[in-house]
Amino acid sequence: MTLTSINPSNGTEIKTYQQLSDRQISEKINQTNQAWLSWKQTSLTERCKLLYKLAEVLQNRKDELAQTMALEMGKPVKQGASEVEKCAAVCTYYADNAAAFLKDEIIITDASKSYITYQPIGVVLAIMPWNFPFWQVFRFLAPALAAGNCGVLKHASNVPGCALAIEEMMQQAGFPAHVFQTLLASSSQVDAMIENPLVKAVTLTGSNQAGVKVAQKAGSLIKKTVLELGGSDAYVVLEDADLELAATTCTDSRLINSGQSCIAAKRFIVVKAVAEKFTQLMLQKMSAKVMGDPLNEATDVGPQARMDLRDELHEQVQRSVQAGAMCILGGKIPEGNNAFYPPTILTQVTKGMPAFDEELFGPVAAIITAKDEDEAIQLANDSIFGLGGAVFTNNIERGERIAATQIEAGSCFVNSLVKSDPRLPFGGIKQSGYGRELGMIGMHEFVNIKTVYVR
């Protein structure tokens, strides 16, 4: 069996890779477990030195890696370069903070000494998506390595070049052999990976359907999982918002990675008093974005990652229009053998339409009108998803109150687009998953939080 990477800009084949057999996967997991027996004994200082070196390697190869992403999954190169810089930053962040995050915590009890210690658990299996093919991996890998764990990666089948580049950079940075390995495999081989007794935990970023399968399999084996799944983030625009800021931020968030991001804004819930003006501003800003060759620095919106994904997105748009939505921008598939889909705006979106109920994984904005703040919050929360959200208002106290206590999501931002940050825990609720990545909490997801009691 083979895996073939295809350029979504023109449909041409880039390269074909040999898929691993089940036996080869088992051997590689065994190698990584053997490496872990030494890696967990390696000093924290040495582990962090290697993370600093890995950050240097990422920075030095930034342009090359951005081009690889552009070719394999269509990310505009200027966004790809930023993604690589963020990967370097997360390596540096955990190298800087691991000692504090893993420090024993003294607890006063009736013992002569009692404390919490954070110990590595072993091999973590990462099942990762194509949309941020480096960042999604490094935000699990950096804290896992710093904590003394090792990792194996089952990456999306359309980005094998990115997957292998990560393993190559680990070697270039000087990490011991097999501390991290890429497993070129199909989705049908994932169950056997999870079943392998040497795999101690699983982290998945992907679709809700994949999350259900992984949670069921890992749960049946009592293995820890962290799931970051889909999202239909709602951005609430109140009547006292700075509409220029709101429209600019909403446009940028909706078009990040050509709209293919779990935490991209998807539903724009605007109070009726400013809905018409906001819609006109967003129409202007979405229309001004440049769709084209992702290798061109001027490109804002590249192709969708695969033809089938583009076609699914268009079908969701068509069903929404058939149900009563108005398409005021885009909504048409360009000619040619490519996966492009233009920036699109749907208005008059209501519950029951795909644009309201489902995740639209592409550059399609759904504008929803609410009569007031209360209805806007109700509409924002009327979703199976709960990954992120945002509120736009010039009353900061009002915005913070809504963000902190009323929007049902793992993250809520005020007057800013939702983004992940190495310093802040990231994850969702409801059908958007469970567990957290990043920050101190993210590091503690995959360690043994052990109580030690000395009489």
Query: Could you give the CA distance from residue 276 to residue 272 in angstroms, rounded to a whole number?
Result: 8
Helical ranges in 174-257 per DSSP H: 190-195, 208-220, 243-255
Triad 366, 251, 415: Cα angle to 5°: 100
Query: Could you give the CA distance from residue 156 to residue 138 in angstroms, rounded to a whole number?
Result: 15
Reduced to 3 states (helix: H, G, I; strand: E, B; else coil), residue 203 is strand
Question: Where does residue 308 fall: left (phi above 0), alpha (psi -120 to 50 degrees), or beta otherwise?
Answer: alpha
Residue 110 CA: distances (Å) to CA of 103, 104, 118: 22, 18, 22
Triad 365, 367, 371: Cα angle to 5°: 160
Q: Which amino acid is at 4?
A: T
Task: Compute the Cα dihedral for 406, 407, 408, 413 and give only its sign.
Answer: negative
Residue 196, both tokens: 């392998």
Query: Could you give the CA distance from residue 10 to residue 70 in angstroms, rounded to a whole number?
Result: 12
Packing angle between helix 62-73 and helix 77-101, nearest 10 degrees? 120
Say which residue the tokens 């269509």 belong to: 74
Triad 331, 263, 382: Cα angle to 5°: 80
Reduced to 3 states (helix: H, G, I; strand: E, B; else coil), residue 363 is coil
**Tally of CB atoms within 10 A around 168:** 13
Looking at the DSSP bridge assignments, the partners of residue 17 are 3
Could you tell me if 77 and 84 are in contact, meaning their C-beta atoms sit under 8 angstroms apart? no
Point out the residues that are catalytic: 228, 262
Beta strand 199-205 with 123-127 is parallel
